[in-house]
Amino acid sequence: EGEAAASAPPPKKGRAPAAAVSPRRQRALNSVPVRPGPILYWMSRDQRAEDNWALLAAQDLAQARGEPLVVAFSLVRGFLGATQRQFDWMLRGLEETEADLRAKNIPFVLVRGPCERTIQSLAARGKFGAIVCDFAPVRIGRRWRDTVASNAGVAVIEVDARNIVPAWLASDKLEYAARTIRPRIHRQLGEFLTEFPSLAKQEDFFPGGWDALQRLASEASADAASAEGTTVQGGVGASAAAASAGAGAEALPCGAGAGIPWPEVRRSLDVDATVPPVAWLAPGPAAAMAQVGRFLARIRAYGKDRNDPSKGATSLLSPYLHFGHLSSQRAALLARAQRSKAPESVDGFIEEMVVRRELAENYVFYNQDGYDRIDGMYPQFGNDSWAQRSLREHASDKRSVLYTREELESGKTHDPLWNAAQAEMVHLGHMHGFNRMYWAKKILEWTPSPEEALATCIALNDKYQLDGRDPNGWVGCAWAVAGVHDNGWKERPVFGKIRYMNLTSTIRKFSIDSYVARVAQR
């Protein structure tokens, strides 16, 4: 891993580099030098134009070398089981991001197919000088980036635009708990929790303009489809280039000067439509900033009420953070500015949004093999931790009640709080943070084995939540079911030393009826 900018040869045309992005936030994923040619920002996780360190780094590089910048997003069919609910939300956000980029004269192209193929093909066909990508610790994200870095023959630079403290600097190893990563993060906030420069309006446009880009996007999608032996999903205005690229690749709604035909892209998706889009929370960077504003206006209540689902004191920012419609750094900067008004609440919010989320990133990044398997969750203890031993010892304990995945999914248990939490998730794509813990603990209690409990938690979470498929969600499940980042508690049946939660203590904290009513209102 190196400081990427250092390997770059001198610029083609002399223009003062803005160098807005710390080289410590960037790392080279291969040793290929940056060559003359346009710069490609491969947008994947951080789907916004402003407050995006990866995009800013790509713009820095382009400006320093006097080259144009292009942004590309690769739409991956059936990404990790995502349903219509999540794709719809994501595509509406991308539509806004395309317009934001266009206002800065920065072209956005949509390619379709597995990222490792589309991006590689786009980079080669467009003779790009470097690819800048954002950071993602999830296994498939690592595989995409590593494959592109190994095979594309072009410099690939990764920029952590998600975490305030870049994941590889927050810690160089798997951390044990919030208490071990917290001081490391706080120590580095002075360096990294800084104001963002705004994205500059671009002067140089990609050679050949929109038409050339449209052709490239079609060709790259067709290359990916032919490598897979499939036909690209699509159906808008057959492109000669795509047809000539072969393998039955058809018509690709990839966008050109007139923009991407988003409604057609949404219609052309081949996804699980049994989980419909939600209407109560609007996607996109503008809606994210509006939500930050609404939350900060009532931040005083956060410290006291955040664990009470009947109060609605939480931020509701998690879906925006998941799709990168919002930078946690922007939210932290705005919250910090209000600290004198409500110090406890602001500190509690920074703890949840920065320390806990960045701990989850650390967990997934440094435990690639085991983050979603109980027998792989504690590599630092040779996968023979107190939690794994305790769950094993209690594997054959009698469960007071057993539910199948289908019974759980349809919210038909004897527990009204659990059923309401499940309904909130199924219908709204959201679950209050406190109930997420209770919900997952009960799945451990009511299924035949911890392995099945974890699989059920992850499957339901990823299917219904707007913020599914995120390290934060997987680590939440691992915490509840297998004690990850927690301590051992008093031993009891089924749970062993894993922390237990029960309805009586929960009921005392808030009223189920008013929570159920809140869910029904939305």
Residues near ligand FO1 (CB under 6 A) are: 44-45, 74-76, 79, 82, 86-87, 90, 115, 136, 138, 140-141, 468-469
Closer to ligand FO1 by Cβ: residue 308 or 467: 467
CB of 107 to ligand FO1, least distance (A): 18
CB of 166 to ligand FO1, least distance (A): 16
369: amino acid identity, one letter: D
CB of 160 to ligand FO1, least distance (A): 12
φ/ψ of residue 496, rounded to 5: 60, -125
CB of 78 to ligand FO1, least distance (A): 9
CB of 54 to ligand FO1, least distance (A): 11
CB of 498 to ligand FO1, least distance (A): 28
CB of 41 to ligand FO1, least distance (A): 12
Closer to ligand FO1 by Cβ: residue 29 or 387: 29
> Is the separation of the CB atoms in 328 and 163 below 8 Å?
yes
The pair of structure tokens assigned to 219 is 């060709």
Helices 471-482 and 357-366: angle between axes, nearest 10 degrees = 90
**CA distance from start to end of the chain:** 47
Helices 416-428 and 433-446: angle between axes, nearest 10 degrees = 120
Closer to ligand FO1 by Cβ: residue 114 or 496: 114
Closer to ligand FO1 by Cβ: residue 87 or 495: 87
The residues near 230 (Cβ < 8 Å, ≥ 6 apart) are 247
Rounded to whole angstroms, the Cα distance separating 155 from 66 reads 17
Closer to ligand FO1 by Cβ: residue 324 or 450: 324
Closer to ligand FO1 by Cβ: residue 82 or 292: 82
φ/ψ of residue 110, rounded to 5: -110, 125
Look at residues 60, 64, 69 and name the one whose alpha carbon lies nearest to residue 23: 60
Question: How does 456-478 read in b/e, with b if 16+ C-beta sit within 10 Å?
Answer: bbbbbbbbbbbbbbbbbbbbbbb
Three-state secondary structure string covering 59-96? HHHHHHHCCCEEEEEEECCCHHHCEHHHHHHHHHHHHH
Closer to ligand FO1 by Cβ: residue 104 or 143: 143
Closer to ligand FO1 by Cβ: residue 473 or 483: 473
CB of 114 to ligand FO1, least distance (A): 9
> Cα–Cα–Cα angle for 111, 115, 121, nearest 5°?
70
Q: In the complex, which residue's CB is closest to ligand FO1?
A: 141
Look at residues 142, 473, 123, 466 and name the one whose alpha carbon lies nearest to residue 276: 466
- Tabulate helix, strand, coil % of the chain (nearest 5): 50, 5, 45
Closer to ligand FO1 by Cβ: residue 30 or 74: 74
CB of 463 to ligand FO1, least distance (A): 11
Please give the helix or strand (H or E) that residue 39 lies within, else none.
strand 39-43
Rounded to whole angstroms, the Cα distance separating 254 from 237 reads 10
CB of 81 to ligand FO1, least distance (A): 9
Closer to ligand FO1 by Cβ: residue 20 or 140: 140
The conformational region for residue 316 under phi > 0 = left, psi -120 to 50 = alpha, else beta, is: left
CB of 324 to ligand FO1, least distance (A): 8
Look at residues 485, 511, 509 and name the one whose alpha carbon lies nearest to residue 177: 485
Closer to ligand FO1 by Cβ: residue 76 or 453: 76
Q: What are the Cα distances from residue 99, in Å, to 2, 255, 293, 468?
A: 34, 12, 22, 26
